[in-house]
Structure 1
Amino acid sequence: MKIDWAALGSVFGVSLVVTVALVGLFTLGVAGLSRRERAAAEGGSATLAVTAAYVCFAACAAAVLYGIQLIMAKG
């Protein structure tokens, strides 16, 4: 059995970058929703923060669905 170490390293690197990006996007989404709570407590509006949070969550969902589609197409 021969292992293609370059391909394995490439897969590891891409997986690491995508994982960090998805966690970062989800974190931004949670932060945006927490701003809405803070603004509501202070009597203000955080429409931009909530919109950005929903965009972050949608991007996370799209990335997950794309990954599932890749798995299903190759499997």
Structure 2
Amino acid sequence: MNIDWAALASVFGVSLVVTVALVGLFTLGIVGLAKQAPTAAGNGGSGAPARFGAYACFALCAAAVAYGIYLIVA
């Protein structure tokens, strides 16, 4: 049995980068939703632009997950 260490390292590197990017994108979505939530003082956050950015981050996360599932199934 011969292991292709270069291919294994390549898969590990790509997986690590994609995982960190996906978690970062999801975190930006959470922060975007938190920015538009009302604060204890009663005033609202940044409103619609933050909500739109959060939804865009969540849509990109869903697209990345769907693409990953497509790669596994195909």
AA of the residue aligned to 2:10:
S
* CA deviation profile, 1:8-29 (whole Å, cap 9, x unmatched): 0000000000000000000000
Identify, as 1 or 2, the structure richer in helix. Answer: 1
Shift of the 44–15 alpha-carbon distance from structure 1 to 2, 3 Å rule, reads closer
Partner of 1:25: 25
Q: 1:36, CA displacement in angstroms?
A: 1.1
The alignment partner of 1:7 has SS state of helix
Mapping of 1:1-75 within 5 angstroms?
Answer: 1-38=1-38, 41-43=42-44, 45-73=46-74
Could you state the TM-score of these two structures normalised by the residue count of structure 2?
Answer: 0.91
1:46 shift after superposition: 1.2
**Coordinate RMSD, CA, aligned:** 1.4
- In structure 2, what is the Cα distance between the partners aligned to 1:45 and 1:16? 33
Structure 1: gaps (5+ residues): none
Gaps of 5+ in 2: none
